Structure 1
Amino acid sequence: MKKIYFLSLLLCFTAALGQSKLKKADKLFKDYYYLDAIKAYEDYLVKNDKPTAQTVRNLADSYYFSDDSRNALKWYKKLYEMQGDNLTDQYFLRYVQSLKGVMDYDQANKAIKERLDKKGDQKEIDRYVFQKRVNDSLANAKPLYKVRNLEINSTKSDFGTAFYGDKVVFASSRDTMKFAQKLYSWNKQPFLDLYVAERNAADGSLSNATVFFPNVMTRYHEATITFTPDLKTAYYTTNVVNKNDKLIVDKKLTNNFQIVKGKIDGEKLTKLEKLFFDSDKYSVGHPALSEDGKWLFFASDMPGGYGETDLYVVQIAEDGTMNSPQNLGPTINTIGNELFPFFRNGTLYFASDGHYGWGDLDVYESKFSGGLNFSEPKNLGAPINSNKDDFSYIVDANDTYGYVSSNRAGGKGDDDIYYFTKGKPDCNQIVWEKSSIPNQNYRLPTLRLLFMTLSGIQKPS
């Protein structure tokens, strides 16, 4: 799943022999050939037991981006031991996520507390305390959700669902396409394409998957799509390419992602146009429209954000004019990755690895209250979330069923699509709220017992 974290694609016997092996490994790593890089680094380390911090970082990252938490942890732990307090926030986050990936939650929480105490960031301490208490209360509460893996999943990656009338559209790297022989270096799977499937209203199952809008297929990725309320216009994510279907790269030889808008004409997508904030220099993707079609949420690593990828929104006028992208701010965005937004009934759902969750990407919800104001994100808990990547949450208008994607254990392939049903919370369920500021000794916030309601805050208009 981490292949879409950064929304980008890169083109591309003696001590002397050892250096040659290291250069080979570094080149493979730089070109995103993570599986091959792992083999090359491990081969180099057979006779080199004192690697540099950079080599350790690269090997740890190679395992991390290949979804191998156990081996990633081994090398992030070594890096942590080498650098201590000098370890960057980004690499500390990956170290903690790897701990959670193997369900070593006690050690992860211990490391977080020590780090926050040393930094003395009271606002971040408050956020950690609040989110941890919410997670603890969810762990002890009756689950609201029931999830089920779907038969439509392949042995490859399937994720990123979107409602399309009585059908569902999703992204998949299943090898049924004419470009299937071309593999993505990151995970050695075919590139992603969009599919549409029939939805069984009785049990949520998906069937009869076929290629969606084959006329816009490229040799690279097409994924994550959203539709206007009248189902006449679509926005989707794809690589930045030229008219000859060739990748366009920036100065670092990185190919970025863009959002393309098109008009739906039968089984074709016509009048394709880039959005004005698309760029060759950074990525934008994962578009999601509000129910009225007036707000477009998306993820981007454009300059000026809070972390690796942030969530943004643009307002869309009646004539299609968009205002400038607005960052959703530090309540939503973190030093990590915020991705896969979905807005429904006054609530923003999104995936994040930067908030204090259960491991890797987790799904959160945040209530909208006007302007760009959102409530403190709350983890949806199990079984929506796990110690692996959980993302691309969508729910129906009545908040009763939907779909979520995950690469958790027990699936059929890399990423799988899960169907869920959502129940009503018990009226005496405990909810943790921040009503006082804890000190650095982690004094608990004041608690109160709330009667739960499901009335949503008014959506943007």
Structure 2
Amino acid sequence: MRLRTLIIGLGLLGNTLAWAQQSPQSKADKFFYEYSFEEAIAEYHKETAKGPLSLTQIRNLAESYEKMGNKNEALLLYKDLFQRDSTLSNFYVNKMLNLDLQTTGSEQQARQFLTSHPDVFTNEVKANALFNYEVRLEEPDADSQLRIFNIAANSAQLDFAPAFFGENLLFTSSRSQDTKDTYFPTGESFLDLFIGKVQADGSVTNAVPYSVVEDFRFHQATPYYASSLNKLFYIRSNEKNGRLAFDDNGKNALALGASDFQDQFTFLMRDLSTSFYYPFFDEDTEKLFFVAEFDDSFGGTDIYFVYTNNGQIMSAPVNLGPKINSPANEISPFIIDSSLYFASDVFYGYGGMDIYKSD
């Protein structure tokens, strides 16, 4: 398969879509777990007047500043946590280094950190970091440069996770619809599947909701069409009797399944406490790749695969390992010409979500 046009739309599902209804210990915690980050910041500062915040609360405050775009305050708090919390996970150490890159525009601090704290990250993470730092020093190949352009199908809301579907493009969007309620944490509509026509110049036009699959009030997202199976893989919110379904801790997670365009959505992976994202079906090996955060995760979300037979799962999930997965979030796996492409917000990138390739 040859890639004529690469259509990019990266959006990190995770904290955004896995709706948590926690039982917080303070008013500030309540705001944080309800994604009201501005109010959480104000309340955490009020609580500091009454006594010191716990390490978890300092981490929540750092994340709140990060979500509100105040990278400098978030960075200071993550650095403070690193000094004070010997159990701070590498996921948050990665956040600290990533924010340092974004605020200074220099990778020097991360390089020094790898030297001065050689035991924090695994050998695979350090090797990948040094390799990527060296790649940046190379002169780019003029023949390999991509042209990036916006498309008419984009909206003012979230538009991401594109997948080719014949001469069309399926994608995910939070644009408003009469059939969808507002998703409280984002203030926009619950996500849904859309379809647009791919034109000869790579543009996408006439985007409309994809009405062939079963109507659903809550999230439907990250589609992938497997032509050999004539099945559409995608994710959706866990629900029961028309209402969101929560686990014992008040979390609503995302399930992964498929549609054959005839029957209802068939669940393939479903757990009330674990969300699944970004399915990709490799036609050659019949492996179904996806993203999740299990107990064996190397950081945030990792990329996994399962063996299948005619689209039915035949094995336990297999983690792609530390050469691919990192202390950060890995998402959006896609294989073309025997190379794996994916996105990651690991600290040795350019900041935020970057696209990576592995042979």
* TM-score, length-scaled by structure 1: 0.67
Per the TM alignment, residue 118 of structure 1 is displaced from its structure 2 partner at its CA by 5.3
Aligned to 1:24: 27
- Code of the residue aligned with 1:221 in structure 2: it is H
Aligned-residue Cα RMSD (Å) equals 3.0
Per the TM alignment, residue 74 of structure 1 is displaced from its structure 2 partner at its CA by 4.0
Which of 260, 264, 276 is the equivalent residue of 1:263? 260
Contact 2:225 2:231 in 1 (8 A): yes
Which of 249, 273, 291 is the equivalent residue of 2:266? 273
Aligned to 2:170: 169
Following the alignment from structure 1 to structure 2, what is the Cα–Cα distance between the partners of residues 5 and 115? 31
Which of 230, 233, 252 is the equivalent residue of 1:232? 230
Unaligned segments of structure 2, at least 5 residues: 1-10
Per the TM alignment, residue 123 of structure 1 is displaced from its structure 2 partner at its CA by 4.7
Per the TM alignment, residue 27 of structure 1 is displaced from its structure 2 partner at its CA by 0.8
Following the alignment from structure 1 to structure 2, what is the Cα–Cα distance between the partners of residues 208 and 115? 54
Which of 8, 11, 14 is the equivalent residue of 2:21? 11
Which runs of structure 2 are paired with 1:37-186 in the superposition (5 Å)?
Answer: 37-41=40-44, 51-66=53-68, 68-80=70-82, 82-83=83-84, 87-117=88-118, 119=120, 122-137=123-138, 142=142, 144-180=145-181, 182-185=182-185
* SS of structure 1 residue aligned to 2:264: strand
Per the TM alignment, residue 119 of structure 1 is displaced from its structure 2 partner at its CA by 4.3
- Code of the residue aligned with 1:274 in structure 2: it is F
Q: Please list every run of at least 4 consecutive aligned residues from structure 1 whose deviation after the TM superposition is greater than 6 angstroms.
A: none
Which of 337, 343, 346 is the equivalent residue of 1:351? 343
- Code of the residue aligned with 2:198 in structure 1: it is R
- Code of the residue aligned with 2:326 in structure 1: it is T
Contact 2:246 2:272 in 1 (8 A): yes
Summarize the Cα distance change of 1:51–1:314 in structure 2 as closer, same or farther, 3 Å threshold: closer
Following the alignment from structure 2 to structure 1, what is the Cα–Cα distance between the partners of residues 163 and 97? 31
- Count the aligned residue pairs: 347
Per the TM alignment, residue 320 of structure 1 is displaced from its structure 2 partner at its CA by 3.9
Query: Is residue 188 from structure 1 mapped to residue 173 from structure 2 by the alignment?
Result: no
* Cα shift readout 1:122-162 (whole Å, capped 9, x = no counterpart): 55433322222123326x55462111122322221111100
Unaligned segments of structure 1, at least 5 residues: 13-21, 368-461
* Cα shift readout 1:2-50 (whole Å, capped 9, x = no counterpart): 45358622137xxxxxxxxx921111112333344234435656x5796
Summarize the Cα distance change of 1:160–1:318 in structure 2 as closer, same or farther, 3 Å threshold: closer
Query: Is residue 342 from structure 1 mapped to residue 339 from structure 2 by the alignment?
Result: no
* Cα shift readout 1:63-111 (whole Å, capped 9, x = no counterpart): 324555344324324434x527664322211111112233532454245
Aligned to 1:296: 288
| Rg comparison, structure with higher value | 1
Aligned to 2:3: none
Following the alignment from structure 1 to structure 2, what is the Cα–Cα distance between the partners of residues 63 and 157? 21
Following the alignment from structure 1 to structure 2, what is the Cα–Cα distance between the partners of residues 120 and 365? 21
* TM-score, length-scaled by structure 2: 0.85
Aligned to 2:301: 309
Following the alignment from structure 2 to structure 1, what is the Cα–Cα distance between the partners of residues 26 and 85? 27
- Code of the residue aligned with 1:196 in structure 2: it is I
Per the TM alignment, residue 263 of structure 1 is displaced from its structure 2 partner at its CA by 0.9
* SS of structure 2 residue aligned to 1:348: strand
* Cα shift readout 1:338-370 (whole Å, capped 9, x = no counterpart): 111111121111111236211122111111xxx
Following the alignment from structure 1 to structure 2, what is the Cα–Cα distance between the partners of residues 102 and 351? 21
Following the alignment from structure 2 to structure 1, what is the Cα–Cα distance between the partners of residues 70 and 173? 21
Per the TM alignment, residue 52 of structure 1 is displaced from its structure 2 partner at its CA by 4.6
